[in-house]
Structure 1
Amino acid sequence: MIRRSIAAAMLVACALSAPQPAKAKITRIEIARTEPAFGGQSFSAVGPYERITGKAFGEVDPKNPANARIQDLALAPRNARGMVEYTTDIDILRPKDESKGNGILLFNIPNRGNKGLLQPFNLDTGTVAEMNALAKPGDGFLQRQGYSMVWFGWQADVLPGNNRMTMQAPAARNPDGSPITGLVRAEFVVMEAAKTQNLSSGWFTGMTHDSYPTVSTDNRTPLPDGFLPTLTARARENAPRMPVPNSEWGFGSCAADGTIKPDAKAICLPAGFQPGRLYELIYRAKDPTVLGLGYAAARDLAVFLRDAKADEAGTLNPIGRRGQKAMVMGTSQSGRFIRSFLQLGFNRDEAGRKAYDAALPHIGGGLMPLSLRFAQPGRAWGQQIDHLYPAYDFPFNYARVQDPLTGRRQGILDRCRRDGTCPLIFHAATALEMWEARQSLGLTDPLGLHDIPDPANVRTYIMASTQHSPTPLPLPTAAPFGQCQQQANPNPHNWTMRALLTALTSWVRDGIAPPTPAMPRIADGTLVTPDLVRFPTIPANSYGNVVRPALRYLGATNPLHPLDFGKGYNAADGMGVISVEPPRTKPGSYGVLVPQVDADGIDLAGIKNVVTAVPIGTYTGWNLFRKERFEDGFCIFQGSFVPFARTRQERLDTGDPRLSIEERYPTPQAYAETVKTAADALVAKRYLLPEDAALLTEKARSEGIRLAP
């Protein structure tokens, strides 16, 4: 028996020393520059930061089961080792003295190539261009905390420019080398009249995304199977589609002389695309990029930067230190990426290692249809705009739930729970996600009848009376208010997000239990059907010499039905091949609920920051499109702000039921004390950091009652 044991041990040792099959991994790190960040500015005890830019080169084994949910990976070109290669930009900020870091590698999932990490946490980070260039640290919150920050490209259809993070991935081909073709639906919505659009142009994608080329620039001659592309226009999402004759448009760019210059990636409409119209092109495209490799890049880069000493050529890991934790954060589209990343099982690499120890999806309801043939990950999920793109298939919950409409029982964390690789998760969303993004479905059963508790590793925090991203100040002082009927909602996320990030760091690094979840619930009446919302009547007014129409509550939501994209589409994983466009609506409707409000129209439940706990007006998670802009539909991603009257008499003269500023805060001292009380209560619940509470309290004392947002 002893000899057999020794022999078995020797066999195991030989097996471990023998060459192992290739693993998906980062094979090479190429550092282009290492330089002082932010002009060498020092950040409290952490000191100055360094910035490292370059590229990471990775490869994926198409035969490994861990990569089975990368659509068309088997049809991608391979290198001599039988692997599929990709390249991604990397941009890293690290403390110059790494011993002063906090032990957290904080990865950001860029939003359509744009760096989105600083804005939710640091104040005054500047424009998108300045954030992409990492030109302004703002107030330096993340730097003062000692985070090492990582940006990388994951969306291979994002075009270079404006310091966007890009990724290079191959196009899939048929086994005989011929192009793969398929159906693509493009939706065009313009802010101002235009004659030419890229085929990828949309409300969120503009001219910054590459397009799938048409198989033929001749839009008037049917293909051999009889297919002919179509262009339609309509006034709103549920309006009839009106055909635009093929003789009135073409694939190409509109020339000054009125002709169309052929271009397989553009469309020309000589009469012009008009604002306030939905244009829908359905065409036959070719050469789908293997976009699902973005999940592999997010997985393998995290494992490499946290755990590896060096790449295959011996280039040292630029931020490798023992004992670090990897956290991932993404906003909006990027939050949906994180949820789908987890749902598809990518938090486990091919060697069984966990990629991210913690995750913070921010305003990221729904899922990301990235691993899909001819995927369009830049699209969204609005009530009027991008309504029919596959961003909201079941499952909606982190927990495993039965869906009576599809018959499936699923949860976003099913795969990582099976293999023990689930991260700790803070899910942070705004009131707008409740109104327009169907966020309630992540809190309840699919029909909206019962609350569903989160798994033990998940905490959900809804930021009351906030819009998708706070509108910058100052607000416009005369109509039109952008595309909307009302001034947009400037209620900031920063104070709450700073507290949540700090708490998540303490949970993953130190084992400190997180703050109590905060969300509306069916059980206590704070999550209701739209017809039960007791929204106040807010009349037209001219408070502060700004003329506003009445704020009209219409009891609307963004409805959701199961959609049929054809037999080749796998709705359970958001993968496969779409063959039906536009999709067919299946029977049944999901139970979308919304927050109940108080007498001021402010959400009753969720985290009420100082702005809404001590309000100077009504803040909502919804706004309506203005006339000739999808009128009365949800003004996409925008909430509303309507100030209170300044005096009781002004309120009475207007017929406003909401108390005036002078009735709420009779003196500046009373206002400051109210702010301090609210701030202290938030600190006690760990929804506000003590230093931020002190800052807000001092501002109230020194500046007096806020009269503008």
Structure 2
Amino acid sequence: MIRCPHLLLLLLAGLVFDSPALQARIVRIEITSRQSPTFEGRLFGKVGAYEKLRGKAYGELDPNSPPNAVITDLRLAPRNARGLVEYAMDIYILKPIDLKAGNHKLFLEVNNRGGKLFGGLNNSRGGNDPTTADDAGEGFLMNRGYTIAWNGWDPSAAPVSTNLTISVPVAKHADGSTITGPSYEYISFDQATSTTYALAYPAATLDQSRATLTVRDHLQDTPTVIPAGGWEYVNERTIRLSPAGTAFRQSAVYEFAYIARDPIVAGIGFAATRDFVSFLRYAKEDDFGHPNPLADDVRYTFSFTLSQPARYLNDFQTLGFNADEQNRRVIDGMENWLGGGNGIGLNVRFAQPSRTERNRQNHLYPEGIFPFAYPVLTDPLTGKTAGRGAACSTTGTCPKVFEINSANEYWVKAASLLHTDPKGNDLPDPENVRFFLVSGAQHGTGNATTAGICQQGQNPTNAEPLLRALFIALDEWVTKGTKPPDSEVPRRSNGTAVVAIPQPGLQTGLVPQADLGWPTIPGITYTGLITTRYPLDFGPAFAQGILTHFPPDVSGRPAYVNFVSRVDQDGNEVAGIRLPPVAVPVATTTGWALRRAGFGENEGCEGAGQFIPFKTTKAERELARDPRLSLQERYQTHANYVEAVRKAARNLARRRLLLDEDVQKYSQAAEASSVLK
């Protein structure tokens, strides 16, 4: 019999903390605020009112556990008394007050650089702290009873306002000494007022001979080294041009290579999401008796991502994090929007996960690297063998996945590699994945009247109605086994793909105008600029996440093969899902755009597309020498246009690519439009 209560507590603690099955997990959940009800008491169908929980979750990881061994520098992180590595993250939950009235499904919205994407599927402007009745928008998710959760995962997310952040440790050598290594900054300001630049990591030395700053105006230019007298360190985290007050040249490309110190163990961000969702799904309480707010409720888990977090979930799968440490599936269904075939530079030393590469920016970061596709393939350019679905296939924890991309991802992020081999040959769909191109869409939704630094107004094609329909299809695939819609992407096998011609060493290529079928439109510049992929050599230690050659050298390296969709006589894409604005067009809409004079003219305008309106009458068209038919020649009357939109929307609904309520919205918008009125 144990008479000492303190000894009994120690033994009980040993049972908790020494159990191998429990070592890597969320050990404490702290709800710091609860708003019940939230949304000003608004009721959602039969589900009723929702409540909002905000707080923190604290996790621990065993560096010796095989599922965690893939995390770069985890073994070099400081450990607590139990030999475990600690981290803490913000959490945010919206749940039915009465969980029994909900649908027992968790909707994980993976935040983008700390910001929520709440408005998307709900068609709202809910912002980063949805609170009012209006913030709930149409209540798409709440009316259906989903619990919605967020967690911090990106250690580079700014700790401001209601951003979701995560705190991870700094890696040190085994003897406790500071780790240093090469780091790199791509610097470009689309204005002429910036005079300083903040580095992602502190410089290990302020000796300018250990760093190099270059500048060029266009990607095809040879970089010019700026001598030591032309720049200086303000401090270990900031550089500036000399003399002080000198502005960086507008839209010029500066590149800064230096020796940095104190890398954070950024890859913990993958384990944080794994363990948070696993806790909500499987645990009853934390180690201190605090209840799981969703205990015994979650039967299915889904995720929704947009852009950066879609790339995060691509690597989340590749690295095996969809299996928790008890080998249970974490996420059942993933809707990945705008991720392309890219990963995210999170699980590397001196990680900068907020970066992303496009036609002109950030080409040399570890984002667009093999593997790109789900099946296990051998890379003919490097000899490596890998696949995004390999890890989950081994553990039997693969999710159902919808990979959805705009035309922009095909033009600026080589998205075709997601569903081809490295030589550009079409691959059959994996059993658990479907692929969709949103024809003629840019990266997100643009404003047709706003060009910004681009040459044309941006593309307003809005994919959210499609995303809602596909999410319902994903849910039914996961929960009912209902066959999902077929993939709709450009394929070489059916002649809808147009292959890019690479420009060695520049990470860009060209799509010939004749091959694409692009019409010559007065006042519109066509260069065929497209992003291509080259093997990036970060050095012999890159397999362990350590970049010894940073930035890498790509000069003279062969390219992977990628392609885009062919276009019709209007310049609108023929492959993919043609939403009503593309199927019944009033303009040419593209996924690519070019920069205007003063901002790197004729180089890629990154995530933007174009909206190039048709003329109203045949006379106007002929006067402008525009080869595209006018609105009058196409539709004759406003009523005919409205009927064409209605017919296109209904056709998409029959294919389970639009919901009935969104069919009505398209019809109403066409009726309210000024087309041929």
TM-score, normalised via structure 1 length: 0.88
Query: What is the CA–CA distance in structure 1 between the aligned matches of 2:43 and 2:65, rounded to whole Å?
Result: 46
Query: What is the CA–CA distance in structure 2 between the aligned matches of 1:154 and 1:285, rounded to whole Å?
Result: 23
Shift of 1:236: 2.1
1:69-128: per-residue Cα shift (whole Å, max 9, x none)?
A: 100000000011110000000011112222232222111221111112x233122416x5
Aligned to 2:156: 157
Q: Does 1:250 find its partner at 2:232?
A: yes
- Partner SS for 2:266: coil
Query: What is the CA–CA distance in structure 1 between the aligned matches of 2:637 and 2:398, rounded to whole Å?
Result: 51
Q: Does 1:566 find its partner at 2:539?
A: yes
Q: Does 1:576 find its partner at 2:565?
A: no
1:306-363: per-residue Cα shift (whole Å, max 9, x none)?
A: 1111111111111233452111221111101001010011111221111111111110
Is the Cα contact below 8 Å between 2:39 and 2:130 reproduced in 1?
Answer: no
Q: Does 1:363 find its partner at 2:355?
A: no
Aligned to 1:267: 239
Matches within 5 A, 1:332-347: 332-347=307-322
Matches within 5 A, 1:79-478: 79-116=80-117, 118-125=118-125, 136-200=135-199, 211-216=200-205, 218-220=206-208, 222=209, 228-252=210-234, 263-269=235-241, 270=244, 271-365=246-340, 366-448=342-424, 450-471=425-446, 473=447, 475-476=449-450
- Partner SS for 1:565: coil
- Structure 1 window deviating more from structure 2 (511-520 vs 582-591): it is 582-591
Query: What is the CA–CA distance in structure 2 between the aligned matches of 1:330 and 1:82, rounded to whole Å?
Result: 34
Amino acid at match of 2:198: L
Q: 1:705 to 1:686 in 2, by over 3 A?
A: farther
Shift of 1:382: 1.2
- Partner SS for 1:385: coil
Q: 1:19 to 1:482 in 2, by over 3 A?
A: closer
Shift of 1:650: 0.8
Aligned to 1:34: 34
RMSD of aligned residue pairs (Cα, Å): 2.1
Shift of 1:191: 2.3
Shift of 1:381: 1.3
Query: What is the CA–CA distance in structure 2 between the aligned matches of 1:348 and 1:595, rounded to whole Å?
Result: 35
Query: What is the CA–CA distance in structure 1 between the aligned matches of 2:144 and 2:193, rounded to whole Å?
Result: 46
Q: 1:131 to 1:462 in 2, by over 3 A?
A: farther
Matches within 5 A, 1:521-540: 521-529=491-499, 530-531=511-512, 532-539=515-522
Aligned to 2:641: 671
Shift of 1:487: 0.8
Query: What is the CA–CA distance in structure 2 between the aligned matches of 1:82 and 1:18, rounded to whole Å?
Result: 10
Shift of 1:135: 7.6
Shift of 1:18: 12
Shift of 1:553: 2.2
Q: 1:129 to 1:98 in 2, by over 3 A?
A: closer
Identity %: 39
Query: What is the CA–CA distance in structure 2 between the aligned matches of 1:93 and 1:132, rounded to whole Å?
Result: 10
Aligned to 1:698: 668
Amino acid at match of 1:536: P
Query: What is the CA–CA distance in structure 2 between the aligned matches of 1:707 and 1:551, rounded to whole Å?
Result: 24
- Structure 1 window deviating more from structure 2 (560-569 vs 602-611): it is 560-569
- Partner SS for 1:43: coil
Query: What is the CA–CA distance in structure 2 between the aligned matches of 1:279 and 1:381, rounded to whole Å?
Result: 15
1:196-228: per-residue Cα shift (whole Å, max 9, x none)?
A: 44434xxxxxxxxxx311113x344x4xxxxx1
Shift of 1:706: 4.1
Q: 1:135 to 1:578 in 2, by over 3 A?
A: farther
Matches within 5 A, 1:58-77: 58-77=59-78
Is the Cα contact below 8 Å between 2:459 and 2:589 reproduced in 1?
Answer: yes
Q: 1:70 to 1:237 in 2, by over 3 A?
A: same
Shift of 1:583: 3.2
Q: 1:230 to 1:397 in 2, by over 3 A?
A: same
Query: What is the CA–CA distance in structure 2 between the aligned matches of 1:19 and 1:192, rounded to whole Å?
Result: 56
TM-score, normalised via structure 2 length: 0.92
- Partner SS for 1:105: strand
- Partner SS for 2:107: strand
Matches within 5 A, 1:540-689: 550-570=523-543, 575-585=545-555, 587-689=557-659
- Partner SS for 1:53: strand
Aligned to 1:542: none
- Partner SS for 2:171: coil
Is the Cα contact below 8 Å between 1:115 and 1:131 reproduced in 2?
Answer: no
Query: What is the CA–CA distance in structure 1 between the aligned matches of 2:202 and 2:296, rounded to whole Å?
Result: 45
Is the Cα contact below 8 Å between 1:373 and 1:578 reproduced in 2?
Answer: no
Query: What is the CA–CA distance in structure 2 between the aligned matches of 1:53 and 1:707, rounded to whole Å?
Result: 51
Is the Cα contact below 8 Å between 1:516 and 1:685 reproduced in 2?
Answer: no
Query: What is the CA–CA distance in structure 1 between the aligned matches of 2:114 and 2:62, rounded to whole Å?
Result: 26
- Partner SS for 1:268: strand
Query: What is the CA–CA distance in structure 1 between the aligned matches of 2:156 and 2:64, rounded to whole Å?
Result: 25
Amino acid at match of 1:350: E
Is the Cα contact below 8 Å between 2:448 and 2:457 reproduced in 1?
Answer: no
Q: 1:42 to 1:620 in 2, by over 3 A?
A: same
Shift of 1:131: 6.4
Is the Cα contact below 8 Å between 1:399 and 1:453 reproduced in 2?
Answer: no
In the alignment, structure 1 segments of 5+ residues that lack a partner are 1-15, 201-210, 223-227, 253-262, 540-549
Shift of 1:578: 3.1
Q: 1:239 to 1:526 in 2, by over 3 A?
A: same
Shift of 1:45: 2.9
Shift of 1:492: 0.2
Q: 1:17 to 1:77 in 2, by over 3 A?
A: closer
Amino acid at match of 1:161: V
Query: What is the CA–CA distance in structure 2 between the aligned matches of 1:561 and 1:695, rounded to whole Å?
Result: 43
Shift of 1:648: 1.4
1:19-59: per-residue Cα shift (whole Å, max 9, x none)?
A: 63242100000001110322222223332221100000000
Q: 1:706 to 1:34 in 2, by over 3 A?
A: farther
Is the Cα contact below 8 Å between 1:31 and 1:53 reproduced in 2?
Answer: yes
1:241-279: per-residue Cα shift (whole Å, max 9, x none)?
A: 111122222222xxxxxxxxxx21111223211221011
1:549-576: per-residue Cα shift (whole Å, max 9, x none)?
A: x222222211221111122212xx8x23
Is the Cα contact below 8 Å between 2:592 and 2:610 reproduced in 1?
Answer: yes
Aligned to 1:54: 55
- Partner SS for 1:55: strand
Query: What is the CA–CA distance in structure 2 between the aligned matches of 1:407 and 1:236, rounded to whole Å?
Result: 33
Query: What is the CA–CA distance in structure 1 between the aligned matches of 2:676 and 2:283, rounded to whole Å?
Result: 54
Is the Cα contact below 8 Å between 1:367 and 1:391 reproduced in 2?
Answer: yes
- Partner SS for 2:115: coil
Is the Cα contact below 8 Å between 1:219 and 1:246 reproduced in 2?
Answer: no
Query: What is the CA–CA distance in structure 2 between the aligned matches of 1:510 and 1:97, rounded to whole Å?
Result: 24
Amino acid at match of 2:67: A
Amino acid at match of 1:80: A
Aligned to 2:4: none
Shift of 1:282: 0.9
Query: What is the CA–CA distance in structure 1 between the aligned matches of 2:225 and 2:576, rounded to whole Å?
Result: 45
Q: Does 1:489 find its partner at 2:478?
A: no
Query: What is the CA–CA distance in structure 2 between the aligned matches of 1:631 and 1:151, rounded to whole Å?
Result: 40
